[in-house]
Amino acid sequence: MIIIAIDGPAAAGKGTLSRRIAEEYGFHHLDTGLTYRATAKALLDAGLPLDDEAVAETMAREVELAGLDRSVLSAHAIGEAASKIAVMPAVRRALVEAQRGFSLKEPGTVLDGRDIGTVVCPDATVKLYVTASPEVRAKRRYDEIIAVGGRADYAAIFEDVKQRDERDMGRADSPLKPAEDAHLLDTSEMGIEAAFQAAKTLIDAAL
Ligand code: C5P
């Protein structure tokens, strides 16, 4: 069983990199951020409070990993709500259990998120920590919105990226940080294609 763990902050390029790796090796892929987003959306849709841990845990236990789709979970409000419920230990326990179950699929899996190498799959075959400067990540988000004809404010996006980093890195339960045995990939300068080639070299060496 092969597990590739990919962690890092928002908009560092984890998603694109994970999908490329999964495709290259024929592995199953789980974007664990979607499990937090789906829980948050279920609470928002039901008009339930975001600060009741027992209620949020019940919703987390009902998330179906098979049906997760970023296009219906991408709203800014869902991302904000997701990062709020992600500080709750009972929510994390429920989702981590489901994520661990997924990680055991054959012939191999790629999981990306914030705590894969540190908490979800500490024995992963290869651990990557993908990062980029907050400026580069904010610019990527900005370009993505402009590319689809949307309106974006760089300064607001930059503030948002920094706030999300603070919340993800500062929480007591499973804060975002590189595992001790993770390989660091800084995509600020190299771009996603070069990051993929670097990741491939590391994975090939471990298989
Ligand atoms: O990756 P994405 O931005 O979609 O994740 C939404 C939120 O879910 C993150 O801001 C983070 O707080 C939380 N999350 C987490 N652990 C993960 C994946 C996401 O706490 N493994």
Nearest CA to ligand 1 atom 21: 113
Residue 166 counted as domain residue: yes
Angle, CA of 14, 18 and 22, to the nearest 5°: 180
Residue whose CA is at the smallest distance from ligand 1 atom 12: 83
How many domains does the chain divide into? 1
pTM equals: 0.95
Nearest CA to ligand 1 atom 14: 33
Domain that holds residue 14: 2-198
For residues 37 and 159, the answer to whether their CB atoms sit within 8 Å is no
Residue 118 lies in a domain: yes
ipTM of the complex: 0.99
- Ligand 1: which of 6, 31, 36 to mutate, judged by most atoms within 8 Å of the beta carbon? 36
Domain with residue 102: its CATH number is 3.40.50.300
Residues flagged as binding site for ATP: 8-16
Question: Domain for residue 110, yes or no?
Answer: yes
Q: Cα(103)–Cα(100) distance, rounded to whole angstroms? A: 5
In a domain, 206, yes or no: no
Is 70 part of a structural domain of the chain? Answer: yes
Q: Whose CA is nearest to atom 7 of ligand 1?
A: 83
- DSSP three-state, residue 107: coil
Q: Which pLDDT score, from 0 to 100, does residue 67 have?
A: 87
Size of the chain, expressed as the number of residues it contains: 207
Q: Is residue 203 part of a domain?
A: no
Would you say residue 205 lies in a domain?
A: no
- Residue 20: inside a domain, yes or no? yes
Q: What is residue 192's predicted lDDT score, i.e. its pLDDT?
A: 81
Atom of ligand 1 nearest to the CA of 99: 21
Task: Please give the pLDDT value at position 191.
Answer: 79
Residue 95: the pLDDT is 98
The pLDDT profile of the chain, 207 residues, written as one tens digit per residue, is 899 999 999 999 999 999 999 999 999 999 999 999 999 999 999 999 999 999 999 999 999 999 899 999 999 899 989 989 999 999 999 999 999 999 999 999 999 999 999 999 999 999 999 999 999 999 999 998 999 999 999 999 999 999 989 999 999 999 999 999 999 999 998 878 899 999 999 999 999
Q: Which atom of ligand 1 is nearest to the CA of 113?
A: 21
Residue-level pLDDT at 124: 98
